[in-house]
Structure 1
Amino acid sequence: MSRRDDREGMLVVAGSVLAALVLTVVPLPVALEPFRPYWVALVMIYWHLESGRLHGLGPAFALGLVVDVLTGALLGRHALSLVILNFLLRRFRNRIRFFPPWQQALAVGALLLNDRVVHLWVVGLLERSWPGWAFWLPPLVGMALWPWLFLLLDGLRSRRRGGRA
């Protein structure tokens, strides 16, 4: 792989992460807000599984801090959850990546539910009120969106390669 190909690959990854960050902060109607998936985690999962990019714990932590700052969450909350998510992806990457997208959706749903448990743990440490049932909707929406997001990002990745293997 040439430097130019590697640089173009990183631009596609950075562009998709930037799009996920924008989708994270774009305003939604109040009725749809509980259904917002964790876009950054979904994009990170894709790039980790398919190309091995974003596989380090450092980039996951930094990306989580960016999400914390953009959303106004407790600093480190998303960073912790993305580091744990990334660790689990490193552990199970070879098993998950060869599933078809609809089966991957189940594994992604389990990873996103684990992410919600981490967020619940942080809420419990802060002794705040427990979230309602809508707290559990984003992993389900992310799981439902996974096959289409997978196909979209896979199309971007293969277009960048120009049909090369």
Structure 2
Amino acid sequence: MSRPHNAWLLPVSVVAALLLGLLPLPGWMQPFRPYWLALVLVYWLIETPDRAGIGFAFIVGVAADLAFGTLLGEQALRLTVMAFIVQRFRAQLRFFPLSQQALAVAGLLLNDRVVGAAVHMALGEPQLPASFWWSPLVGMLLWAPVYLLLDRLRMGGRG
């Protein structure tokens, strides 16, 4: 039985995640900004691995580096590492209930922060303040709504 899929949804969701990442926030809210691009990428890696993989994560990461003005290749590296981990454990992640998936996503987002901190440390760049470690928690809390929204759109509104 083939599932309906909307070819436009993958690129539109990635662009929307990039735009959400560019959305200006007050200074006090910056540490709580979820890594929208990672959440969207993890969804696509779990649900349609034939359309999203490590190469796709790298390309999206380079686009994010250019859009956000970060160190070229930093987000590409972070998203590639994340994509590798998701692909390695995709079979298990797919069948976890959303609450367990959210915990796994929190681990992925925490690992992303560690990789980013390691890159900054290796290059002698300033580290993010300790408050920026709250972002993975916010991403974990947003996983279920993001997953359900993208799944509903991907399935064409069918339950």
TM-score by length of 1: 0.89
Secondary structure in structure 2 of the residue aligned to 1:130? coil
Shift of 1:130: 3.0
Question: Is 1:54–1:60's contact at 8 Å kept on the other side of the alignment?
Answer: no
Q: Following the alignment from structure 1 to structure 2, what is the Cα–Cα distance between the partners of residues 127 and 151?
A: 40
Question: Is 1:41–1:82's contact at 8 Å kept on the other side of the alignment?
Answer: yes
Q: Which residue of 2 aligns with 1:18?
A: 15
Shift of 1:157: 1.2
Q: Following the alignment from structure 1 to structure 2, what is the Cα–Cα distance between the partners of residues 123 and 69?
A: 17
Q: Which residue of 2 aligns with 1:47?
A: 44
Map Cα deviations across residues 88-114 of structure 1 (whole Å, 9 max, x no partner). Answer: 011000001111111100000001111
Which of 35, 38, 44 is equivalent to 1:38? 35
Which of 104, 126, 129 is equivalent to 1:129? 126
Identity level (%) = 48
How many residues align? The count is 158
1:75 has 2:65 as partner: no
Which of 86, 92, 117 is equivalent to 1:120? 117
Q: Which residue of 1 aligns with 2:143?
A: 146
Q: Following the alignment from structure 1 to structure 2, what is the Cα–Cα distance between the partners of residues 131 and 62?
A: 25
**Runs of at least 4 residues of structure 1 off by over 3 A?**
none
Map Cα deviations across residues 91-146 of structure 1 (whole Å, 9 max, x no partner). Answer: 00000111111110000000111111110011101113332212211111101110
Shift of 1:28: 1.1
Q: CA RMSD in A?
A: 1.8
Secondary structure in structure 2 of the residue aligned to 1:32? helix
Question: Is 1:55–1:90's contact at 8 Å kept on the other side of the alignment?
Answer: no
Question: Is 1:48–1:55's contact at 8 Å kept on the other side of the alignment?
Answer: yes
Q: Following the alignment from structure 1 to structure 2, what is the Cα–Cα distance between the partners of residues 128 and 44?
A: 26
Q: Which residue of 2 aligns with 1:157?
A: 154
Shift of 1:37: 0.6
TM-score by length of 2: 0.92
Gaps of 5+ in 1: none
